[in-house]
Structure 1
Amino acid sequence: MTPSTILAPSLEDEVEPRVADFYRRALRALDEAGIPFLVGGAFAQACYTGIRRSTKDLDLFIRREDYERIAQVALRHGWRTEMTFPHWLGKVYDGQEFIDLIFNSGNGLMPVDARWFHGNCRADVLGVSVCVANVEDCLVSKAFIMERERYDGGDIAHLLQVNALRLDWPGLLERFGAHWRVLLAHLTLFGYIYPAERDHVPGWVMTMLMGRLAGELRTTEAPGDNVCAGTLLSREQFLHDIERLGYVDGRLTPASTMTPEDIAVWTEAIPARAEAQGGKPSD
């Protein structure tokens, strides 16, 4: 099936010319090398919502097994690569400018796999025809970002406002799986933000999720594990619960692919901690 094409707004004015040239060369180089990738971040948000905003980088979703091939392509073009956080993120640098190579979510819940690369739309990004991450995957990748300094709920509301009527809702529910409460929270807020458009979310979706919630409320037996899943939403705001109150870190349950070593590195990169140690805050 030939992928559809999105008429996306140009982001030329939001990206400096020299940086835009680096992005173009990188996109073309990966395409010519036959390495699959999907554009995400601010560029995908612009494609699906029409909202334009300046961006400091270009987000590309890749499969982890393709990182080394990308590193070889980058080397041939004189760019530097870095495996910044081995559990989810690498980077390609041209001087100080960079492209994020995302192969998982920061909480280890959502590895990029083959299903991300089905039915993708194409869009013209800075003059290059590329595949864009599906709306459903954009939603999932943003749904768990609830830091004090960054909350992606506004992006999710806008994605739903424009695209809710044509989403693959069964697929989205499958993506969230056991984390359906997070989806329900965002859908509830969507109905609050856009009261006249609540019906854009299918009634059966809300009925199903509310039924699950009601079922939990009827259950008097509490879960056996003393888990704090807040660390799946924020790497910083629930450290008190883990370090002082004895909760099990939700990232160390089978839900996440993170290891204790991954968590330690990711925690040390929290901006306030990195700055206190004289380092540079990371994504």
Structure 2
Amino acid sequence: MGAGTRPGEDLAIRERSQGELDARATALRALARSGVPFLVAGAYAFFEYTGIFRDTKDLDLFLREQDLDAAFRVLEDAGFRTEITDSGWIGKAWQGEWFVDLIFSSGNGVAVVDDLWFTHARPGRVMDVEVLLAPPEEMIWSKSFVLERERYDGADVNHLLHACGAGMDWDRLLRRFDRYWEVLFSHLLLFQFAYPGARSIVPDRVIEELVGRTLENLRSGDHPVAMCRGSLMSRVQYVHDVERLGLHDGRRWDEAERGPAGRAGHGGAAGADAAGGADVSPGGGG
């Protein structure tokens, strides 16, 4: 880095040891040479899109689950120790005390890394390695569900919208959120609050579409099942609602509905069973 360091990257040099930075660069070079498909996301991609650099404890690499074993083998040959941290979405590669995250889904199982992440990836250069960056649309999709008390990615979503919204594929973003469209709508409203002078970045037709869905929900009234879908946004903040108030766990329903394929629209009757046997449709009256 040194002489070629861009504004903001010097923070990483000051805040992180050379050993840690070398471990990240080693992982990038090894995977780039191997041909195993991967994308850089997290703080590094966020900087490329927004110019905002944050100190980060790791390097986030996104890949399809089917490519995880191959990536592990490459990194093991490069001197890393690998492990599956959570079989639903993440593995890690360690070099001493330093680690790289290998992510193939969001923690709630919604934002699965699929071929479209790579189709719409953008070229970039991270730590002097030519890489592909996760698309801003998919970064927004994934980050929009990170709403924990100790970590809230709403500001990241706002900054990505502000920096990339004018050229964003809004139709793809709407399709990505699918039946979780209320989550997207909530972030777009917060964006308009944060940047009142840039409201036009979000196309009128997108807001009109989501307002129309909201009005349809109002006309439909309350959903017949007392369910809490907050568990899709936070692992712990809605435990009280499920365990103490007796609300049906919306995340459990959603996982059953997605089924083995990991996509919305799979699971059919199993999804209804998980929510108490009723016909649950999150998009209406939810």
Kept in 1, the 8 Å contact 2:121–2:132? The answer is: yes
1:253 is paired with a residue of what secondary structure? helix
Q: CA deviation at 1:141?
A: 0.9
Q: Which runs of 4+ in 1 moved over 6 A?
A: none
Answer yes or no: is the 8 Å Cα contact 1:145–1:234 preserved in 2: yes
| Post-superposition offset of 1:61 | 0.5
Q: How big is the shift at 1:56?
A: 0.4
CA displacement at 1:203 relative to structure 2? 0.4
Structure 1: which amino acid aligns with 2:233? Answer: L
Specify the alignment match of 1:230 in structure 2: 230
TM-score (norm 2): 0.84
In 1, Cα distance between equivalents of 2:54 and 2:75 = 27
TM-score using structure 1 length: 0.85
Moved more, 86-95 or 243-252: 243-252
Which digits, 9 at most, give the CA deviation of each residue in 1:18-53, with x for residues without a partner? Answer: 212111111111121110000000001101100011
Q: Distance in 2 between matches of 1:188 and 1:13?
A: 32
| Cα distance in 2 between the residues matched to 1:163 and 1:182 | 19
1:47 counterpart = 2:48: yes
Other structure's SS at 1:106 match: coil
Identity of aligned residues (%): 44
Distance 1:232 1:254, change over 3 A: closer
- C-alpha displacement of 1:129: 0.7
Question: Quick one: higher RCO (CA 8 Å, sep 6+), 1 or 2?
Answer: 1
Name 1:158's counterpart in structure 2: 159
Structure 2 unaligned spans of 5+ = 1-5, 261-286
Alpha-carbon separation, structure 1, partners of 2:11 and 2:186: 35
**Closer, same or farther: CA 43–258 of 1 in aligned 2, 3 Å:** farther
| Structure 1 match to 2:278 | none
The residue number in structure 2 matching 1:197 is 198
Q: How does 1:22-41 map to 2 (within 5 A)?
A: 22-41=23-42
- 1:156-197 residue CA offsets vs partner (Å, 9 max, x unmatched): 111111111111000000000001001110000111111111
Q: Compute the displacement of 1:10 (Å).
A: 6.1
8 Å Cα contact 1:40-1:132 kept in structure 2 = yes
Aligned equivalent of 1:17: 18
RMSD: 1.8
CA contact (8 A) 1:9 1:47 kept: no
Change (3 A) 1:187 1:104: same
Other-structure match for 2:3: none
Instruction: Identify the residue that residue 168 of structure 2 maps to in structure 1.
Output: 167
Aligned positions, number: 252
Query: Which segments of 5 or more consecutive residues in structure 1 lack a partner in the other structure?
Result: 1-7, 260-283
Contact 2:230 2:250 in 1 (8 A): yes
Structure 1 pair 186–201 and aligned structure 2 pair: CA distance change class (3 A): same
**Amino acid paired to 2:108:** N
